[in-house]
Structure 1
Amino acid sequence: MIQVNVVKHPTGRITSFTMDGHAEFAEHGKDLVCAGVTAVSFGALNAILSLTDAELSIEQGEEGGFLKCLVPEDLPAGTDEKVQLLLEGMIVSLQMIEREYSKYIQITFR
């Protein structure tokens, strides 16, 4: 199962997220859940890196199945707004995947 942990500040600002595990929906290379989660998360990170000046702290596991992103606290307000919107969009997409494939992905908020 893919575990997605999203950490939000009491204000609602996303400060970090971690993804860990494998969906195991199908064999490697044919796992639609894994492919969807990967596309959504990397799409969001690539959009942030391409469309903003934010320098995120990103850590990836060597074997895949692990992704961690820390959002700097000191981003300019306009940049932080864009980053937050893109991350919220990522979460909405992941929740849609979770709604259909809840045996294979779980999202938690702290």
Structure 2
Amino acid sequence: MITVNILMSADDKVRELKVTGHADYSEYGSDIVCSAVSALTQTALLGLMNVAKLDIEYCVNEGFLSFTIPVIEDRDARLKAWAILDTMVMGLENISENYSPYVRIVVKREV
């Protein structure tokens, strides 16, 4: 199972993302659930770095992806980052709803 841990700020903005595991929906190399989660999260990471121009801490390994969103001072960068992250979360939620035995999303909120 893939577990997606999302830490949200008090104002409902993604602060951290950590994705671990494998879906085991089908055999390695043809697992559409793993591919979908990887495509969404890695594309979001690329967007944060190349579109929003964030200097972001991240780690990508086999069965693991994590990143932490820094404080974003620039208004335009912040709006771009929020759009990227909100879209990523919607996509992950959709995958989780359609493939619930294989993807679990855990959301925690800062207080």
TM-score range normalised by the length of the shorter chain: over 0.9
- Number of residue pairs aligned between Structure 1 and Structure 2: 108
Question: Match for 1:53: what amino acid?
Answer: K
Q: Shift in Å at residue 77 of structure 1?
A: 2.6
Instruction: Find the counterpart in structure 2 of residue 32 from structure 1.
Output: 32
Higher mean C-alpha deviation, range 50-59 or range 33-42: 50-59
What amino acid sits opposite 2:90 in the alignment?
A: V
Aligned to 2:13: 13
Amino acid at match of 2:13: R
CA distance in 1, matches of 2:19, 2:95: 14
Cα distance in 1, alignment partners of residues 52 and 80 from structure 2: 7
CA-CA distance at 1:74 after TM superposition: 4.1
Who is 1:85 aligned against?
A: 83
Contiguous gaps of at least 5 residues in structure 1: none
Secondary structure, in 3 states, of the residue corresponding to 1:72?
Answer: coil
Corresponding residue SS for 1:7: strand
**1:54·1:75 contact (CA, 8 Å) conserved in 2?**
no
Deviation at 1:78, TM superposition (A): 2.2
**Residues 41 and 20 of structure 1, relative CA distance in 2, 3 Å threshold:** same
1:52 — aligned with what?
A: 52
Q: Does 1:3 align with 2:37?
A: no
TM superposition score normalised by structure 1 = 0.92
The alignment yields a C-alpha RMSD, in angstroms, of: 1.1
The equivalent of 1:98 in structure 2 is 96
Unaligned residue ranges in structure 2 (runs of 5+): none
SS at match of 2:28: coil
Task: Return the alpha-carbon distance in structure 2 between the equivalents of residues 100 and 11 of structure 1.
Answer: 27
